[in-house]
Structure 1
Amino acid sequence: MLIASLIFAISISGVADTTELVPAGEEALTIDLELDGYVNGYMDRDRMMTYAGCTLERDAAYTYALLMEAAARDGVYLEPIDCYRTYNEQKAAYNRRCPYTDTPVYDRDPITGEQYQVGSKSIRVCTGPPTARPGYSNHGWGRAVDFSDGRGELGCRDRAFIWLQSNAQRFGWVHPPWAHCGRSTQEPWHWEYASLIEANLLPVLRLDSDLVAVVE
């Protein structure tokens, strides 16, 4: 598994101070876990670690601990409110956010043109911030954290969020594009572990997913 090994070696092993390290992507790195046979929401216990009450995949947990220590040194309070989610936890969250609702079904009278109800159907109606379908959340890989500053979920103008914007990438953590402030799907509290890689090797990772699957 060349790609996964490359990322792991660069992000975890010692690298010269002069080497520029950047996040390996704009969202959570999951290809290494997928190639190793892990399943979203069913991560092996041996692959997980817990730091200060937040359970994550071990590589993510290590860098998360460094990030939290750096924030504390800078006087910034960060608190995890959601870390790893099992499949059943993802399912429960999705059902809460997107419950089934009975919706009327109408037809039109061909003579009068008037609409009339012919029955109803049950469809999911989602409210609030988007929630991934069970098995598709990056929380299910143990590589996503939702943060609070102790007063509730982070807002786009909160000091802790601004600190994360300036510092999280040093530890391989990113704010995915879909969650950016100003978007209808904004979630300033949601951050993901993308890993670190040498800047000059970043193009290696920008491959078609079908090609990556072959390099095993």
Structure 2
Amino acid sequence: MLMSADGYRESLRAYRPRVFVNGARIDSVADEPLLAPGINAVGVTYDFALRDQHRTLMTARQSTSGQVVNRMLHVNETSTDLLYKLEAVRLLCAESGCAQRYLTHDALNGIFQATARTDAVHGTDYHQRFLAYLHDVQDRDLTLGVAMTDAKGDRSLKPGQQANPDVYVHIARRRPDGIVIRGTKAIVTGAPYMHEFLVMPCRTHTAEDRDFAVACAVPADARAEVLEPYPAEGYRRGKKLKLQLVQIGWAEVELETARAFLAMREAAAADGIDLAIRSGWRSHERQAWLYQAWRMGLGNKAARPGYSNHQAGRALDIYLDAPTYAWLEKNARRFGFRRTVRKEPWHWERVKKWRPRVTAPRRGR
């Protein structure tokens, strides 16, 4: 169903992405003046689709569903579609300066072709999955951010050769109900005011790098939490440990540390504080990379590989602003956490085992 610009703005209020502007957390992207120019530009793509004089350019019928959809969400079927899309972008840019949403169109058309060709060669069912997603996006008239460009790291190396694999988005684990992805995408146009992110590879991949060839969609405010423990190798004072990890946000966290953090996060939320982890458990390779970067004068001081409490699963680096830091200073000890590095206010460690408080029932007389 076609949405208006006002409907688009209202739909954004239902999302709670983690967005900062000038260092301050934004509660509602739809109501932030500094984001208004971008939101207004996307809004033009909605309103023009509802105007009679622009309907031919700005809408099209999708044959796979029979529905009339916004041109920016349509998969091209004829040469006329290609020309109309070009003219629609010119029309939108003349009005708004930058159409932005045409990137969604390009991504959807690329994945349509890629999934169809993959199925034809390998007998898979990716194309039907994509069509189901496409029709849902069209029905809800969503705006998608295209998360294609990876951080890339050392550009002389392939993704699987990187010291830090998270410079490319990749499949970290496969589960019966889907996949867990990790990594970094950069320069996503309009990211704060998108409904979802369409994740795509940014280069061709060899068979050895198959885990980096991943396409999927993620809601803009998704809390990336997988609370199903899985084994990992840790280190404490140079000796190997066996750990159980879970996923909280974009961080992997040792199980007991995760339980304490989640209890602390719940208490913070009751006080209006949003706690989020930017770094938790680190692999030996990741710690070695950070240590080498520090030795080269890049980044913050890092412990030698095997001696970081991040590798032991006890340390968390937490996103900070002044209210968050004040809350942690006052409350973190209740949950077993303490700030342990003088020059790193974001670094908190679980220094004792946390136990939930249980109030014993009073005995009757």
Question: Normalising by the residue count of structure 2, what TM-score does the alignment of the two structures yield?
Answer: 0.31
**Partner Cα separation in structure 1 for residue 323 and residue 354 of structure 2:** 28
Moved more, 47-56 or 87-96: 47-56
State yes or no: 1:95 paired with 2:297: no
Match of 2:21 in 1: none
State yes or no: 1:135 paired with 2:299: no
**Partner Cα separation in structure 2 for residue 96 and residue 139 of structure 1:** 17
1:144 maps to which of 315, 321, 330: 315
What SS does the aligned partner of 1:191 have? strand
Identity, in percent, stands at: 33
Question: How far did residue 69 of structure 1 move?
Answer: 1.1
Question: How far did residue 127 of structure 1 move?
Answer: 5.5
CA, structure 1 residues 50+133, in 2 after alignment: closer, same or farther (shift >3 Å)?
A: same
Residues 315 and 349 in structure 2, CA contact (< 8 A), matched pair in contact too = yes
CA, structure 1 residues 75+159, in 2 after alignment: closer, same or farther (shift >3 Å)?
A: same
> Which amino acid in the other structure matches residue 73 of structure 1?
A
What SS does the aligned partner of 2:334 have? helix
Question: How far did residue 50 of structure 1 move?
Answer: 2.4
**Partner Cα separation in structure 1 for residue 306 and residue 286 of structure 2:** 10
State yes or no: 1:192 paired with 2:349: yes
Match of 2:235 in 1: 39
CA, structure 1 residues 88+145, in 2 after alignment: closer, same or farther (shift >3 Å)?
A: same
Q: How many residues align?
A: 121
Match of 2:327 in 1: 163
Q: Which has the larger radius of gyration?
A: 2
Match of 2:262 in 1: 65
> Which amino acid in the other structure matches residue 39 of structure 1?
Y
What SS does the aligned partner of 1:56 have? strand
RMSD, matched Cα: 2.6
Residues 251 and 279 in structure 2, CA contact (< 8 A), matched pair in contact too = yes
Question: How far did residue 143 of structure 1 move?
Answer: 1.0
**Partner Cα separation in structure 1 for residue 281 and residue 273 of structure 2:** 23
Larger RCO (CA under 8 A, 6+ residues apart): 1
**Partner Cα separation in structure 2 for residue 70 and residue 62 of structure 1:** 13
**Partner Cα separation in structure 1 for residue 294 and residue 274 of structure 2:** 28
**Partner Cα separation in structure 1 for residue 337 and residue 256 of structure 2:** 11
**Between structures 1 and 2, the one with greater helix share:** 2
Question: Normalising by the residue count of structure 1, what TM-score does the alignment of the two structures yield?
Answer: 0.50
Give deviations 1:108-159, integer Å, cap 9, x for gaps.
Answer: xxxxxxxxxxxxxxxxxx45532111111100011111111xxxxx36xx11
> Which amino acid in the other structure matches residue 246 of structure 2?
M
Runs of 5+ consecutive residues of structure 1 not aligned to the other structure: 1-36, 100-125, 149-153, 181-185, 199-216
